[in-house]
Structure 1
Amino acid sequence: MKYLKGKTAFITGGGTGIGLQLALQLAAEGTNIVISSTNQERLSEGANQIRKASPDVKVLDIVCDVSDRASIKNVKSEITKAGLQVDILVCNAGVTTSGDFHKHRAEDWDWVYGVVLNGTHYCVQEFYPDMVERGYGQVVINGSQAGMVPNWVTMHGPYTSAKAAVHALGAALRPEAATHGVGVTTVVIAGTQTEIMKSERSRPERFGQPLGIELPKRAARRVPAEDVAKQILDGIKEDKGWVCTHPDLKERTKQYFDEILAAYDR
């Protein structure tokens, strides 16, 4: 999508981190912004930051729990009431837990899958058909290197498998969407300076108490969120099928897929 001025982007998980940085960069291009998250205070702070930086664009901040389909439908209703339509959908919201597979309870799986996987396809189901009807739009699905190479980072089982699923969703949707003039970009994100490891603070009561397993902090190179957002913005403008934020992980990815390809020769 080369022309962003006057378009409207809806970004889930847009109150902090990558979502907020992308919102700031899109707003600087003249794009109207709708951001959502589960925390009104952080959401309002983010929205005010966007308004201050880009006073000429419309900015909406709407509390939304993407694991709840009705909450997403409410966001769409509020966007319509404001006289806007979603031209760019960014499925960015994500949460994770830490611990062994066998220590995860049903509610831990339900929460992570609810946000990462269900939240993504709920948004696609709600906004993609409108893009098809209009004949244009861009869907951005934020995945993870952990989902691309599932044996790379352990102790995040639900998150890793849910991210692998959203990669498949993006890849499967892209060729179909292209026939309707809609672009789909799947983003493979690795170590970034975000607050995802604090995501238990936003866990809804219906998913129970935090898992509460403390793991040693893993040393990792984490790039600024604005750098990742810039790569995503380029992906939107150029309708890239894939955006991979950490080129230094190419060899590790190749190793993983080479192991799979070798199995075809046996």
Structure 2
Amino acid sequence: MKDLKGKTALITGGGTGIGLALALQLAAEGTNIVICSTNKERLSAGANEIRKSASNVKVLDIICDVSDRSSVKTLKAEITKAGLQVDILVCNSGVTTGGEFHLHREQDWDWVYGVVLNGTTYCIQEFYPDMVNRGYGHICIHGSQAGMVPNWVTLHGPYTSAKAAVHALGAALRPEAAQHGVGISTIIIAGTQTEIMKSERSRPERFGDSLVVDLKKREARRIPPADVASQVVDGIKQDKGWVATHPDLKARTKQYFDEILAAYDHE
């Protein structure tokens, strides 16, 4: 989708971080923007920043809990009511917990899977069929280096496994979607300057109390959200199947897949 002007992009988790940075860059391309998240204050602040940066595009900010299928259906209804259709879907919402597998409770798994995996599938189920019917569109599925190399970053079991699942979803959907004129890009994101480690502040009450585990802060090279966003925009324009934000992690990724490939070798 080389021409983004006049199109409409829905970005989940668009009030802060990578989602907001991407919204700003797409708005600069002339793309109408719909951002959603669970926090009204941060969402409104993000929407105002987008409006100030690009007064010539429509900007909607809609409260939505992507882990709740009915909330996603309401999101679509509100977008339709506003006279817009989603041409670009960016499944960006993400939360994580910290701690060893055995310390995670049922509600911790339910919450992370609800946002990262179910939230992605709910949005695709709502907006992908319309793209198929129109014969064009693009979906960005935001994955993670942690999901690509699951033994690289430990202590984030639900997040890591859910991100691995969305990678598989993107890869499986791409060849089918191409037959309908719809592009699918899976984005492998590594260390970025976001607030994902503050995820628990957005945890809905139905998932219970936050998981509190004393963890040592992990040192990592983190790039600005705008750097990730520019790579995502390029991925949309060039219809790239995969976008990896951190080239320096290629060797570590190869090591992991070489270990798997070695299992196929029988003497």
* Alignment TM-score, normalising by the size of structure 1: 1.00
Quote the residue 1:171 is aligned against: 171
Quote the residue 1:233 is aligned against: 233
Quote the residue 2:156 is aligned against: 156
Residues 10-159 of structure 1: pairs in structure 2 closer than 5 A: 10-159=10-159
Q: Distance in 2 between matches of 1:124 and 1:78?
A: 17
Quote the residue 1:3 is aligned against: 3
What amino acid is the match of 2:4?
A: L
Q: Distance in 2 between matches of 1:236 and 1:21?
A: 15
Q: Does 1:192 align with 2:211?
A: no
Q: Alignment partner of 2:15: what SS? A: coil
Q: Distance in 2 between matches of 1:32 and 1:232?
A: 16
Quote the residue 1:246 is aligned against: 246
Q: Distance in 2 between matches of 1:213 and 1:56?
A: 46
Q: Alignment partner of 2:184: what SS? A: strand
Shift of 1:202: 0.2
Q: Could you give the per-residue CA deviations for residues 126-161 of structure 1, whole angstroms, max 9, x where no partner exists? A: 000000000000000000000000000000000000
Dislocated runs of 4+, deviation >4 Å: none
Q: Distance in 2 between matches of 1:83 and 1:66?
A: 21
Q: Distance in 2 between matches of 1:130 and 1:173?
A: 15
Q: Alignment partner of 1:184: what SS? A: strand
Q: Distance in 1 between matches of 2:264 and 2:110?
A: 34
* Alignment TM-score, normalising by the size of structure 2: 0.99
Q: Could you give the per-residue CA deviations for residues 165-207 of structure 1, whole angstroms, max 9, x where no partner exists? A: 0000000000000000000000000000000000000000000
Q: Could you give the per-residue CA deviations for residues 241-264 of structure 1, whole angstroms, max 9, x where no partner exists? A: 000000000000000000000000
What amino acid is the match of 1:174?
A: R
Q: Distance in 1 between matches of 2:94 and 2:143?
A: 9
Structure 2, unmatched stretches of 5+, are none
Q: Could you give the per-residue CA deviations for residues 33-64 of structure 1, whole angstroms, max 9, x where no partner exists? A: 00000000000000000000000100000000
Shift of 1:16: 0.1
What amino acid is the match of 2:184?
A: V
Q: Distance in 2 between matches of 1:114 and 1:78?
A: 22
Q: Distance in 2 between matches of 1:138 and 1:79?
A: 17
What amino acid is the match of 1:232?
A: V
Structure 1, unmatched stretches of 5+, are none
Quote the residue 1:263 is aligned against: 263
Aligned-pair Cα RMSD in Å: 0.3
Q: Distance in 1 between matches of 2:137 and 2:152?
A: 33
Shift of 1:104: 0.3
Q: Distance in 2 between matches of 1:37 and 1:213?
A: 25
Q: Distance in 1 between matches of 2:40 and 2:237?
A: 30
Q: Alignment partner of 1:194: what SS? A: coil
Q: How many residue pairs get matched? A: 266
Q: Alignment partner of 2:199: what SS? A: helix
